[in-house]
Amino acid sequence: MSKALFKDVFRSIIRTRNRFLSIAAIVALGISVFAGIKATAPNLKDTAEKYFYDYNLSDISIVSTIGLSENDIYKISKVSGVEAVMPVKSADVFIEVDGKKVIDIEGAQYVCRATSLNMDMATAFQNGVNDAAYMNRPDLLEGAYPKQENECLIDSSAVTSTHKFAIGETVTLTGDNENLKNKLKNTQFTIVGIVRTPMYISVERGNTLIGSGKLGNFIFIPETNFVTDYYTHAFISVAGAFGYKAFSPEYKAYVEPVIKDLEAISEDRVRARAMSLSIELAPQVERGETELAAKEIEAEQKLAEARELVKQIKYYAENGDEELAAKKEEFESSLSDAQRRLLSGRSEYNAGLAEYNRKLAEYRAAKAIADQYPNARADYARAKYDLEEAKKDLDEAENALNETRRLLDQAGEEGNLSNYVVVAQAVARVLAGRAGESISPETLEQLQQAINEENAQQVYFILEGAQRALEGELNKAKYEYQVKEMQLEAAAQDIKKLDELEAAEKKLREAELKLNAGSSELSIGELTLNMRQMELKYELTLAEEKLAQAKAKAKTADEEYAKKEAEVRQQLQNARHDIDNAKKVLASLDSAAWSVDGRDALPGHVEYDQSADNMTAFSAVFPVFFFFIAAVVSLTTMTRMVEEERVQLGTLKALGYTSGAIAAKYLIYATLATLIGTVLGLAIGFVLFPVSIYNAYSIMFTTPKIILAFRTRYALIGLILFLAAVSSGAILACRSALADNPSKLMRPKAPKKGKRVFLERIGFIWKRMSFNTKVTARNLLRNKRRFIMTLVGISGCTALLLTGLGIKDSISSISKNQFSGENAVAKYDAQIVLNDRNVSGISPEETLAGVKEDVRVKDAILTHMRTLNGSSEREPDTVLPVSILVPGNTEDLQNFIKLRNRKTGEAYTLNSEGVLVSEKFAAKTKTNPGDEIFVTLNDGSNVNMKVAGVVENYAFHYIYMTKELYTQTFGEEPVFDFITAKLSDNIKSMDETERNAEKTKLATDLAKRDDISVVVYTDQAVNTFNKLLKGLDALVFIFVGSAGALAFVVLYNLSNININERLRELATIKVLGFYDREVASYVFRENILLTALGVASGILIGIPLHKFVINIAEVNIVMFGRSISWLSMVIATSVTVVFAIIVNALMRQKLKKISMVESLKSVE
């Protein structure tokens, strides 16, 4: 090829870069879809394989119904082919957080497998040691390994739990009717790390023997926690097994012989173990029984005592108030008495003080006065003496007088002188006594004379005179006496003053004493009062506290008692369980066996493989479509290009270039475009598709990030295919042109023949069509190939969009069809989990009655649910976990679960003729009504059941059977552990916030009851599902993206070609004066019609395509809704139309730019 021609190629690439890029784009699109989807399955498998290798997934696992002893482990390790054995102890437990039981989204208690982690091995692994014996290693995603015994690592996925576990939380493990202390040292663990492990790659964790039968998650705890002396699992790694590709049949064949060998030794080992257990347990059981009986009696006694105590406390609490009030009053009154007394004491004191002061004043006054008479006493003494003297005088005088008088009188009476003389003598004597005073001696002499003379008259006369003198003397003495008396009085008064003073002093002293006494008394009184006050306050406070305490205690006394009672009963229960469990073990010894399984038995293992394989199936169909489009688009484009360059072709031919050389240009053009497209497509496809599909699947699987390997094989295949497609298009395009002789090529191409459209033959339609319509009809059909291409492109776009949106519909409709829609399968709103009747003492029937009474519950039935593995004779390899559901009342079940066949619409009633199975289960196990299915019990035996009908169901698998049939089938009556309930219409008609509040309240109220554990609303399941399904958005996005890209490239390309072919025509009508919009509609009327037709056919194609994809992509546990919503159809249509409009808008610009002058110049 000449240099000039080479230049031509590259210049034309640049000049027609839109065309070049559109081919590259369609190739990129096609190859990215092809290579991307094809690479997904191997990438997924490789990712898993690396995960298995890095974290040493075991090849074989052995479980024994009676555990494995050290000896067993030893014997296992000796089997040929066994590289290493890792024995593990585990316990399946219930789990609690903050005292609340964790429940799963179906309402059952969440079951957790506590698995032992050999800390030495784990540490060694962290330090880089790769020990083959350390298998099923945890992959630490967050946090750290346990350093202490009571720390644990928890499963990173807890999809079916209603609680999200986090690092730092403390979880409590409890047993299902067993005392965990028999197995574990600790039952409380703090989460220190979050892990995943290759043993559980699907979010399904498999089955368990406890609870509802579904295992929820796992935790790793240090091995030293286990106090049991046997192992529950033995994991085996087969030498050389990692040399085979995971999931491959070669691998399975390689491991199979080892499994067989292990099974061969199992019988002997089991028998040995059974023997040793029997020897160990039988006596323990006996002893246990007797001990338990004794303990039970003791317990009852203690409980009775406790009850009494409670009664007392309560009594005190109730009556304490009155007592306290009375006491308070008492205190208060005594206190006020004392106060009153104190008050009066005080006032007394004050009075005393006043008195004292008064007395003091008086004393002072008295003293002042008394001081004026210092000699008062002496004076008084003298005065008294004087008075006495005076008295004496007086008396004497008086006597003398009286005597005299008497004598006188006497004399007078007798009248004789002799008397007078006697008397006179007497008187003279008397007077003599007084001579010198009143009686002068002369008188006396006279008297004497008279007497001597016996002058009676003289005597009388003198005596009278003497009497008078005596009287005078007497008066004088009296007067003197009075004076002296007065003097004495005065002195006495003075003395009185002194006396008064003394008295005052005395009184003062008295007052002082009194005062002092009073003062100290007062102090004492005050002190006493204060002390008393404090004392009383203290006592009162004490009493109040005591009462408050007592009251508080009384409140909780009942609860505490109940708690204690529950504890005690629980302990007794535990002991009973222990004995029962031991008995069970003893009973199972005869039928004990090992279960030796390869990796297929691991939950999710087979599903993962299948999902990857599904992608392979997918990749067979999907990319073909794109490939086809790519081929035809490139053909059309190259054809156009060749046509445009006809003249040049002819010229080159005329110049003598060979056809090969000329064709080479187009080949190079096409090849380069393909190469660029391939590079781009692979870069995008190898990343985008595997990652998106992985993300979509990550809702079901827990694996490390997907490995993106460049799959050279697919890259090459894709490249070759597309290269072939595009080049053949180029060559085909050239061939017809190159076949013509040069002159023909250089001549203008004969104008295209007008063709009659078939519509024209239908006269009456054709006549009625408007001019524009006729033009459009002609234009549409003039190039059949392009017509079909555009139609295919648009319908492909619509179909893809519809499929993508339809997938989303199907998946989101799971929860709608199952739970929330009007015609949903499950019409109940809540699952109420019942407590063990042995613990609560209340029968399920009673609980049901109680629940039904609640006005917030519209209706309720008892149910029993149990999950086992199920399969059918036809497809024994397909084993699915299926939940057996038994209603308490057979007729009522249909009010809660719709039992109808989706395809035929037939409604079933549950009876004892057979069981009803859910649709997906039936489909997967190829079961029809009338066939038999079986479930596998924990001991490995199968139980057969006859299928009476297949019911519509979208989530999980169910077998419905009557309780009579259950009893007949399993040989024991079902224990009803759930109540399935519908909420009242009242609650359902509330608005969201109100409704949620009511529901929470109802759940709390019900959970308070002894017989009810917890309430789970179906809302929770719906929410979980919706969260799961968000992952599928990525997948949908791929569809929409591809659809858009497809539509765009195809439409753009074809419109471009369309216009280029008709440049002349379009320029002509522009000259004719067509407005821009008229020119546009001239072209686009066809496009619009094509779009309409394309959309319609796209929908017709999309519906079956959607069904196909759904069937492939469906995962086992759910059934996707099969229908596409109207909204999706509308969206698919609108989006396609939008893409078409965008292309039209771009073309519009092109039309505007058509230069009339240039277009009409060229000779063609």
Please report which helix (H) or strand (E) contains residue 1013, including its range. Answer: strand 1012-1017
For another protein, which stretch binds (CB under 8 A), given 354-362, 707-715, 926-934, 1153-1161? 1153-1161
Stretch that binds another protein, among 342-350, 615-623, 775-783, 919-927 (CB under 8 A): 775-783
Any idea which residue has 């003494």 for tokens?
A: 381
755 binds another protein (CB under 8 A): yes
Mark the segment that binds another protein (CB under 8 A) among 473-481, 531-539, 700-708, 749-757: 749-757
The alpha-carbon radius of gyration of the chain (Å, integer) is: 64
Residue 184 DSSP one-character state:
B
Rule CB under 8 A: say whether 774 interacts with another protein. Answer: yes
Question: What does residue 14 show for φ and ψ, rounded to 5 degrees?
Answer: -70, -40
Tell whether residue 750 is a contact of another protein (CB under 8 A): yes
Single residue of 413, 771, 853, 993 touching another protein by CB under 8 A: 771
Q: Which residue has the tokens 């403390």?
A: 170
3-state secondary structure of 829: coil
Q: How far is the CB of 1098 from another protein (least distance, A)?
A: 27
- Choice between 375 and 1155, CB closer to another protein: 1155
Provide the minimum distance between the beta carbon of 1069 and another protein in the complex, in angstroms, as a whole number. 7
Stretch that binds another protein, among 73-81, 527-535, 564-572, 1155-1163 (CB under 8 A): 1155-1163
Strand partners, 958: 883
Residue 643 contacts another protein per CB under 8 A:
no
Tell me the window of 195-203, 309-317, 322-330, 773-781 that interacts with another protein (CB under 8 A). Answer: 773-781
Q: Shortest distance, CB of residue 635 to another protein, whole angstroms?
A: 23
Tokens at 54, concatenated: 């890095």
Q: How many residues bind another protein (CB under 8 A)?
A: 30
CB neighbourhood size of 621 (10 A):
13
What pairing do the DSSP bridges indicate for beta strands 217-222 and 151-155? antiparallel
Which is closer to another protein, CB of 279 or CB of 750? Answer: 750
* Region of 686-694, 766-774, 860-868, 874-882 interacting with another protein (CB under 8 A): 766-774
Dihedral through CA 179, CA 181, CA 184, CA 185, nearest 10?
160
Residue 765 interacting with another protein (CB under 8 A): no
In whole angstroms, how close is the CB of 633 to another protein at the nearest point?
24
DSSP 8-state symbol, 940 = S
165: left (phi over 0), alpha (psi -120 to 50) or beta: beta
- Binders of another protein in range 874-903 (CB under 8 A): none
In whole angstroms, how close is the CB of 1068 to another protein at the nearest point? Answer: 4
Q: How far is the CB of 777 from another protein (least distance, A)?
A: 10
What is the maximal distance between C-alpha atoms in the chain? 241
**Which parts of 512-551 interact with another protein (CB under 8 A)?**
none
Write down the least CB distance from residue 683 to another protein, Å: 40
Report in angstroms how near the CB of residue 748 gets to another protein at its nearest: 8
Q: Interaction with another protein in 370-389: which residues (CB under 8 A)?
A: none
DSSP symbols for 436-472: TTTB-HHHHHHHHHHHHHT-HHHHHHHHHHHHHHHHH
Question: What span, in angstroms and rounded, lies between the C-alpha atoms of 1082 and 1059?
Answer: 11
- Least separation in angstroms between residue 1157's CB and another protein is 5
Residue 752 binds another protein (CB under 8 A): yes
- Shortest Å, Cβ 753 to another protein: 4
Six-digit token string for 138: 């945890």
Confirm or reject binding of residue 751 to another protein (CB under 8 A): yes
Three-state secondary-structure class, residue 134: coil
Cβ at position 1149, least distance to another protein in Å: 14
791: helix, strand or coil: helix
**Which CB sits closer to another protein, 236 or 1066?**
1066
Q: CB–CB of 839/569 below 8 Å? A: yes
Question: CA 824 to CA 982: how far, in whole Å?
Answer: 13
Question: Phi first, then psi: what are they for 414, rounded to 5°?
Answer: -90, -25
Question: Of residues 1054-1093, which lie at the interface with another protein (CB under 8 A)?
Answer: 1064-1065, 1067-1076, 1078
Give the separation between CA 1058 and CA 1061, rounded to whole angstroms.
Answer: 5
**Among 99, 754, 763, 905, which residue sits at the site for another protein (rule: CB under 8 A)?**
754
Q: E strands of 529-601, at which residues?
A: 594-597
E strand segments, 144-271: 151-155, 170-174, 188-196, 217-222, 231-238
Bridge partners of 101, per DSSP, are 96
Q: How far apart are CA 578 and CA 451, in angstroms?
A: 161
Q: Which is closer to another protein, CB of 128 or CB of 754?
A: 754
- Minimum distance from residue 763 beta carbon to another protein (Å): 13
Task: List b or e across 29-63, with b for residues whose CB sees 16 or more CB atoms inside 10 angstroms.
Answer: bbbbbbbbbbbbbbbbbbbbbebbeebbbbbbbbb
Cβ closest to another protein, residue 15 vs residue 755: 755
Binding segment for another protein (CB under 8 A), chosen from 117-125, 573-581, 745-753, 876-884, is 745-753
Give CA–CA dist 968/886, Å, rounded. 13
Q: Name the one residue in this structure whose structure tokens are 């139609």.
A: 791
What's the CA gap between 1154 and 337, in Å, rounded?
A: 121
**Which of 761, 1008 has the CB closer to another protein?**
761
Residues 485-514 that bind another protein (CB under 8 A): none
Rounded to whole angstroms, how far apart are CA atoms 1129 and 806?
A: 8
What phi and psi values does residue 1040 have, to the nearest 5 degrees? -65, -45
Residue 1041 CB, shortest distance to another protein, in Å, is 37
Specify the residue, 432 or 1156, whose C-beta has the smaller distance to another protein. Answer: 1156
Residue pair 806/1106 in contact (Cβ under 8 Å)? The answer is: yes
Determine, following the binding rule CB under 8 A, whether residue 1157 of this chain makes contact with another protein: yes
User: Does 775 help bind another protein (rule: CB under 8 A)?
Assistant: yes
> Which of these segments, 399-407, 558-566, 753-761, 1138-1146, binds another protein (CB under 8 A)?
753-761
Q: How far is the CB of 1160 from another protein (least distance, A)?
A: 6
User: 779-798 mask for another protein (x: CB under 8 A)?
Assistant: x--x----------------
| Residues of span 1028-1047 touching another protein by CB under 8 A | none
Report the SS3 class of residue 64.
strand
- Contacts with another protein by CB under 8 A lie at 750-755, 771-772, 774-775, 778-779, 782, 1064-1065, 1067-1076, 1078, 1156-1157, 1160, 1163
